[in-house]
Amino acid sequence: MPPNEYTITTDKRCLDLTAIHAYLSQTYWSPGVPMAVVEKSIANSLAFGILHGKEQVGFARVVTDKATFAYLADVYVLEAHRGKGLSKRLLAEIQSHEELQGLRRFLLATKDAHGLYAQFGFSELANPSRMMERRNPDAYSQAL
């Protein structure tokens, strides 16, 4: 199907949370994520859905204060819909979104899509020694 038969939306009412959860719960970055966590993460983020008709075929969300900082997370396109430029369209939509302009820092983490993100200006951390993290790898097995 041609890429123009796809819609990218930020209308959360159009998102299929069941489909998003089904995909995310199988990924390397959020295996076993509970539905309640997916719902809460979408409710508190700027969410972007890729729809083919009403079918949820891609997704991304941006955690942001809409002034200085953003973090891109949970980006995916279903395998059957890859190779059609949808990831690039999605990233272009995200970068041009009116609420994500003028940010001082826009971060993301990826295991295998460095080449895609580099096309949109992302690069390795300029000074990784300044970055720190607090991890809880068992968060999904703990009560909300």
Q: What does the pLDDT look like over 57-103, one tens digit per residue?
A: 999 999 999 999 999 999 999 999 999 999 999 999 999 999 999 99
Going from N- to C-terminal start, the domains of the chain cover 3-122
| Cα 36 to Cα 93: distance, rounded to the nearest angstrom | 27
pLDDT of residue 1: 41
| Cα 108 to Cα 75: distance, rounded to the nearest angstrom | 10
Mean pLDDT (the chain, rounded): 94
CATH superfamily placement of domain 3-122? Gcn5-related N-acetyltransferase (GNAT) (3.40.630.30)
Model confidence pLDDT, tens digit, residues 17-30: 999 999 999 999 99
Please give the C-alpha separations between residue 131 and each of 12, 104, 113, 127, in angstroms, as whole numbers. Answer: 32, 15, 21, 8
pLDDT of residue 143: 52
